[in-house]
Structure formats: structure tokens, C-alpha cells
Amino acid sequence: MLHDPKYKDEIYQSGYYDDKPDALRDEFEYFYEKKLDSFQGKLDDLSDIFNPDDTVHPDNLLARYDKKTTEYLTTKVFPFFKEMEKFYGTKIMDVYQEYVERVLEERNNFIKYEYEEMLKEFLEEQEYEKLCQQYEKRIVDILKENVPMKQVALINSFPKEEQKIVKDCLKYLMRENRVFRVRKDINKKGSPWFLVLGEHRYDWQSFLI
């Protein structure tokens, strides 16, 4: 390997690199191709931060990307280049700079092509969640007065244009175990679903008496 001290002394003494300023960099990239590819692969993986499964404020994604890429560059990539610089010369730091530039390019592309749309989606979802909270309270209030209540009857008690958000809110309330679906006759096929609040999950049948 070129960074073996003995080999390094011999190769320099031969004058081989005297008129080849980029040769050491080329040697470095050749010998460490897999290592350099692994660096880029990791940075590519970190760019997946910009493709979250949930709706997130884009500023949070940028902050996370900056933190993760800076941490990786400063703790893994830069130390390796700095160590190898002693053997392959300062030209290899140009290769390190390419990683930095790729990170900045990925960041700038996100801001240029995705930021505004993602921000719009985030704000719309926030507004929808606020609206849902209002409907959740209305649903809970209705179910307090009606134990149990047919699911279809509850949904139809709202105007048609509001029924989609009512269904979404019901799904959320059920995931949170605040509302449960029950059947009066679990053995009867097609028996309608009734809704009860969590506090009546086990005693709702007593209200039928």
C-alpha cells in the first residue's frame, strides 16, 4: 500500500511523483475506492431524512439532516482523510470537499424543489388536526348522552359534508381507546356496530335494561 512508510519513502525518492501533482490523489482513490463508496453510500442514506413517512415540518428535517451529516463528516470522513493526507498529500482533501459539496447540494435541492410543498402539507395537516379536535369533543359529548349509539346513526347525525372528518376522528378515538365498537348480538351475522366511550366498554349493556 502506498501509505506504508517504507514504500512511501522509496516512491518519493524515485521522483515518480515530481511532475504528477494529481497522481497521489489518483492512487488514493484507486486503493480506497470501496471505502470512499461506503462514505457516499452512508450520505445517500442520510438523504432519506427528506422522505419521512409522516408529515413533518421541513425545518425539522433540515435540522436533523444538518446534525446527522455534520456528525458523520466530522467523526468518520474527515478524520480518515486527515490521516491519509500524511501519506497521499493535500490533494486528497479535494475529494473530501466533494462529499461536503454533495451534502450541500442535497440540502439546497430539498429547499428548492420540496420545501414549500412539504410546508404547505404540514400546515394543512395542522389545521385539519385542530378541526378534528373540535369534532372529537362533539363526538364524545354525543356518546355521553347515548349509550350505546349506532355508529351509522352517529355519523348521519352530522351534515353529509362533515361526515368524512367525523369518520377520521372516530378512527383516531378508537386507536386511542377512547371509543370502542361493540355489537349487541355478536352471534348474529350483520349485526350493526354500536359505539361506546371507553368508560363504558364493559358496562354498556346495562344501559339497555
Question: In the predicted model, what is the mean pLDDT of residues 9-24?
Answer: 62
More confident residue, 153 or 198: 153
Gap between the Cα atoms of 156 and 169, Å rounded: 14
Residue 58: pLDDT over 60: yes
Question: In the predicted model, what is the mean pLDDT of residues 185-209?
Answer: 72
Which of 14, 25, 77, 21 lies closest to 46, judged by CA?
A: 77
| Residues 6 or more apart whose Cβ sits within 8 Å of residue 174 | 180, 181
Q: How far is CA 172 from CA 156, 165, 191, in A?
A: 18, 11, 23
Tell me what pLDDT residue 12 has.
55
Tell me what pLDDT residue 7 has.
55
**Percentages helix, strand, coil for the chain, rounded to the nearest 5?**
70, 5, 20
The pLDDT mean for the chain works out to 87
Predicted confidence band of residue 64 (pLDDT cuts 50, 70, 90): very high
Q: Which three cell numbers, joined as nine digits, stand for 41?
A: 453510500
Tell me what pLDDT residue 19 has.
61
DSSP line for 22-79 = THHHHHHHHHTHHHHHHHHHHHHHHGGGGS-SS---HHHHHHHHHHHHHHHIIIIIHH
According to DSSP, residue 2 is labeled T
Residue 13: pLDDT over 80: no
pTM over 0.75: no
First to last CA, the chain: 88
Predicted confidence band of residue 73 (pLDDT cuts 50, 70, 90): very high
Residue 209: pLDDT over 60: no
Predicted confidence band of residue 98 (pLDDT cuts 50, 70, 90): very high
Phi, psi of 207 (to 5 degrees): -80, -10
Residue 62: pLDDT over 90: yes
Residue 180: pLDDT over 90: no
Residue 194: pLDDT over 90: no
Predicted confidence band of residue 154 (pLDDT cuts 50, 70, 90): very high
Task: Kindly state the percentage of the chain with pLDDT values over 90.
Answer: 56
Domains in the chain with CATH codes? 5-113 (no CATH), 126-208 (1.10.10.10)
Residue 77: pLDDT over 60: yes
